[in-house]
Amino acid sequence: MESRVAKKEWIVTAPSFYKNILLLSVPMILQQLLRVSVDTLDSIMLGRIDQLQMSAVSQAQQIFFIFYTISCGFASGGCVLISQYWGKRDKESIKTLIATSVRIIAALGIVFSAIVMIFPEQILSIYSSDPELIRLGASYLRVAAIMYPICAVSAMLFACCRGFEEMRVSFTTNAISYPLNVFLDYCLIFGNFGFPKLGIQGAAWGAVIARVVELLILGRFVFRKEKNIGMRFKDMTRRDPKLRKDFICVGVPILLHELIWSTGTTAGSSITGRMGTTIVAGYNIANTYYQLMACFMNSILNACSVVIGMTIGSGADKKRIQKEAYSMIVIGLVGGSALGILTLLFGRPFVNLYVLTPDCAAYAKNFMLIFAAIWPFSGMEMTGMIAVLRAGGDGKMGFICDIFSMWLITIPLAALCGFTLGLSPYLVVSIIKVNIAIEAIVGIWRIHTEKWMRNLTI
C-alpha cells in the first residue's frame, strides 16, 4: 500500500492532465504529418526520376533543416515566455512579445537567405564530394532560399499561438498549404497539367509558393480573426526593453542549442555522405521515416512545454511542477517506445515505396533498426531536455550537453571510425545516435535537481 502512495507522489495521476496534453497535441501532430509528408512525397517523386536528384534534394535540405531548426528554437523561446504570461493572463505583454519576436526572426531569416543564395556550392560541398550532386543541389537551393524568411516568420507565429493554447490554426493553415505544395511539386517536377517541367527546381518553386500562401493565411488569422489576444497589425510597433531582454535571454540559449544540435546532426549526414552515394541515399530514406515518426513526439513535446509553462507562470508550487515534469518523462518513454515498435513494423515496407538499387535498399532497412533502438531515449530527451527544461527557462543545459556529448564525443568518434578506420557505416550511424541517449540521461538528472524552475513573468 505504501509503495502505491509513493508512486502517486512523483507523477500526476489525474486523467485530465494527460487528456489536456493529448488535446493540445492532436492539431500539431496533423500539422507535422502534413509537413513531413510533403518532404517524403518530394523524395519519392524525385527518386522516380533518378536516385541522384533525390540525394541532391536530401542534402540541400540539410541547409534548410539547420535554418528551420534554429528558427523553431528561437520561436520556442517566444512560446515559453508567452505560455508563462498566458498562465497569468497578461495579454498586453503577449502582444509585445509577438511583435518583438517576429521582427527579430524576420531579420535572421533575411540574413540566412542571402548567405545561402550567394554561396550554395560552397555550403553543399560540406555535405558531399560529388560534383554533380553539388551542382543539382545548388540549383535547388538558389530558389528554395527565397522561402527562408517566410518560414521563419511563420514558425514564430505558430509558436506564439501555441503559447496561448491556440492550436487549431496550425492544422487548418497547413491543411491548405501542404496539399498545395504537393500539387505544385507534382505539376512542376514532371510538367503535368500544362506546367513547365522543372525537375529538381520544380520542387523548390512548389515549396516557395506554398509557404507564401501559408504565411498569408496565418497572418490573416493572427491579425484579424484571433479573439483571445486581439493582436492587430498596428501592434507590431510595440516595444518593451524588459520583454525584449527576456526574449533574448530565453531564446538565445535555445537557438544556440538548436544550432549546435542541427549542425551536429547534419555533420552526421556529412560523414555518411562521404562514405558513398548509395550509403547516403539509404541513410536519407531511413531518416525520412524517422522524421515522419518524430511528428508525434515533436507535437507531444510542444504540448508538454505549453502545459508546464502555464503551470509555472500561474505561480504553482515546486512539488506540483516537479510531478508534472516526471510525468512528461514517462510520456516520452512510452511514446518513444511505441514509435520504435512502429519503426520495426513499418520501416521496411516504407523503403519499398522507393525505386532503389538492392544495396541502397539494404542500407535503408538496416539503418531503420538503429533508429528503432534509439527511439525510447529520443522520446525522453524530447519531453525532458527540450519540453520541460526549456519551459522552465533552462535552455542552457541542452546547449552545454550537446557541445560535450555531440561535438567532443560522438561526432569525432564517428568521423574517426568512418574515415580513418574505415569501419561499418552501421557502427558509424550508431555512434552518431548515442548522443540522444546521453541527452536523455542528462535531462532526467537536471530535472531531478529542481534547479531548472524559473518563473519568467516576475
Angstrom distance (rounded) from CA 328 to CA 325: 5
How many structural domains are present in the chain?
A: 1
Is residue 302 situated within a structural domain? yes
pLDDT for 430: 93
pLDDT band at 5, cuts 50/70/90? very low
Model-level pTM? 0.78
pLDDT one-digit tens code per residue, 229-282? 999 999 999 999 999 999 998 888 888 888 888 888 777 777 876 777 788 888
> Highest mean pLDDT range out of 31-35, 49-53, 249-253?
249-253
Average pLDDT value over all residues in the chain: 89
- Count other C-beta atoms under 10 Å from residue 451's C-beta: 11
HSE-CB at 96 with a 13 A cutoff on CA atoms is 16
Is residue 454 situated within a structural domain? no
Which three cell numbers, joined as nine digits, stand for 290? 524517422
Is residue 455 situated within a structural domain? no
The DSSP 8-state label assigned to residue 12 in this structure reads -
pLDDT score of 4 more than 70: no
| Buried/exposed code over 222-235 (b: 16+ C-beta within 10 A; e: otherwise) | bbeebeebebeeee
pLDDT score of 308 more than 90: yes
- 313 is in which domain, residue-wise? 2-449
pLDDT one-digit tens code per residue, 406-432? 999 999 999 999 888 888 899 999 999
Is residue 68 situated within a structural domain? yes
> Are the CB atoms for 34 and 178 separated by under 8 Å?
yes
> Are the CB atoms for 240 and 96 separated by under 8 Å?
yes
Is residue 10 situated within a structural domain? yes
Q: Which one is predicted more confidently, 150 or 166?
A: 150
Is residue 456 situated within a structural domain? no
pLDDT for 292: 86
Is residue 370 situated within a structural domain? yes
Is residue 230 situated within a structural domain? yes
pLDDT for 453: 92
